[in-house]
């Protein structure tokens, strides 16, 4: 089933930069998609548009659950079950791994709920998320004492704590060495498969796309130049 659908979605930034030419794309439930492209191709714009952090200049975004996502109530509902993972992990460096994961729970709650203390259930869930990324022993370690790969895994745990239907990961391994990159993508793909989470990850390494993607969308100059299984990349390149 179609989880998220873009119809004629294009993005021109206020300064006139045409970052995405109008495109139609469907992301299916549970699919692990890699957006592959060089710097400036429009990967980040597409991911931010999917979370409505960037408002498209044309077209509509819809989900199976909400229909066309417009208006602040639907945008909020959409974001609540859409978790983000960033290149620079965006952790609170002076806080523990657990506290960082709990901020994912905050994103899952409605605004009024965030004014109240965290219930014990949320702490339990956050701990379980750390266990799933193999970091149970780092629960109370401050983020700035973790390695780059561990920080990124805390970022995955924080996304999971939001109990998302969708994960959007913007160059999550760009600042990691090749081995650590493999480990992080391995975990992300395993978890999204186990939980049936629709996952869209931007990368610029063909080899990593080939290895982890179920579907690759190639972007260049704000256009889709490839859309298919990684096995079809060989004949396309
Ligand atoms: P990628 O993630 O593939 O590197 P981006 O989506 O960041 O690509 O960028 C696509 C194009 O849009 C580039 O030309 C970039 O310079 C431009 N761009 C990105 N963000 C902005 C912005 N906030 N304002 C103006 N132009 C932007
Ligand atoms: P408002 O301006 O109406 O308060 P926000 O845009 O601040 O709305 O946030 C709406 C909801 O989306 C909140 O639950 C918030 O935690 C969540 N949210 C905000 N930014 C992101 C993001 N980058 N990724 C995922 N969820 C987000």
Q: Residues 17, 42: contact at Cβ < 8 Å? A: no
Residue 72 Cβ contacting ligand 1 at under 6 Å: no
Nearest bound ligand to the CA of residue 112: 2
CB-count burial class (<10 Å; 0-12, 13-18, 19+) for 8: exposed
Ligand 2, residue 84: give the atom nearest the CA. Answer: 24
Q: What is the structure's pLDDT at 236? A: 61
Ligand 1 centroid–CA 22 distance in Å is 15
Per-residue pLDDT of the chain in tens (237 residues, 90 and over written 9): 559 999 999 999 999 999 999 999 999 999 999 999 999 999 999 999 999 999 999 999 999 989 999 899 999 999 989 999 998 878 999 999 999 999 888 877 766 666 677 778 889 999 999 999 999 999 999 999 999 999 999 999 999 999 999 999 999 999 999 999 999 999 999 999 999 999 999 999 999 999 999 999 999 999 999 999 999 987 765
Ligand 2, residue 72: give the atom nearest the CA. Answer: 3
Indicate if the alpha-carbon torsion angle 216, 218, 223, 224 is positive or negative. negative
Q: What is the structure's pLDDT at 111? A: 65
Rounded CA separation 32/45 (Å): 19
Phi/psi of residue 19, nearest 5 degrees:
-90, -30
Q: What is the structure's pLDDT at 2? A: 58
Q: Ligand 2: which of 66, 107, 113 to mutate, judged by most atoms within 8 Å of the beta carbon?
A: 107
Q: Which protein residue's CA is at the shortest distance from atom 12 of ligand 1?
A: 19
- pTM, two decimals, is 0.86
R_g of the chain, CA atoms, integer Å: 18
CA atoms in the 13 A half-sphere facing the CB of 59: 23
Q: Which protein residue's CA is at the shortest distance from atom 5 of ligand 1?
A: 42
Strands of the sheet with 18-28, listed across from one edge: 18-28, 2-12, 58-63, 67-68
Q: What is the structure's pLDDT at 193? A: 94
């Amino acid at each position: 089933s179609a989880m998220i659908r873009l119809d004629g979605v294009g993005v021109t930034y206020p300064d006139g930069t045409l970052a995405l030419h109008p495109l139609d794309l469907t992301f299916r439930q549970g699919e692990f998609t890699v957006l592959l492209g060089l710097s400036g191709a429009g990967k980040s714009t597409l991911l931010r548009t999917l979370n409505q952090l960037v408002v498209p200049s044309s077209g509509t975004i819809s989900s199976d659950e909400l229909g066309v996502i417009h208006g602040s109530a639907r945008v909020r509902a959409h974001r609540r079950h859409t978790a983000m993972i960033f290149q620079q992990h965006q952790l609170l460096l002076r806080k523990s791994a657990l506290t960082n994961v709990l901020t994912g729970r905050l994103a899952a709650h409605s605004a009024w709920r965030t004014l109240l203390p965290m219930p014990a259930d949320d702490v339990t869930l956050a701990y379980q998320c750390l266990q799933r990324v193999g970091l149970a022993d780092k629960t109370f370690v401050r983020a700035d004492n973790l390695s780059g790969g561990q920080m990124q895994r805390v970022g995955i745990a924080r996304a999971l704590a939001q109990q998302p239907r969708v994960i959007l990961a913007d160059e999550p391994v760009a600042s990691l060495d090749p081995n650590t990159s493999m480990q992080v993508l391995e975990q992300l793909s395993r978890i999204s498969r186990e939980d049936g989470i629709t996952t869209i990850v931007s990368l610029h390494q063909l080899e990593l796309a080939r290895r982890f993607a179920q579907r690759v969308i190639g972007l260049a100059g704000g256009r889709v130049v490839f859309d298919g299984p990684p096995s079809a990349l060989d004949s396309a390149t």
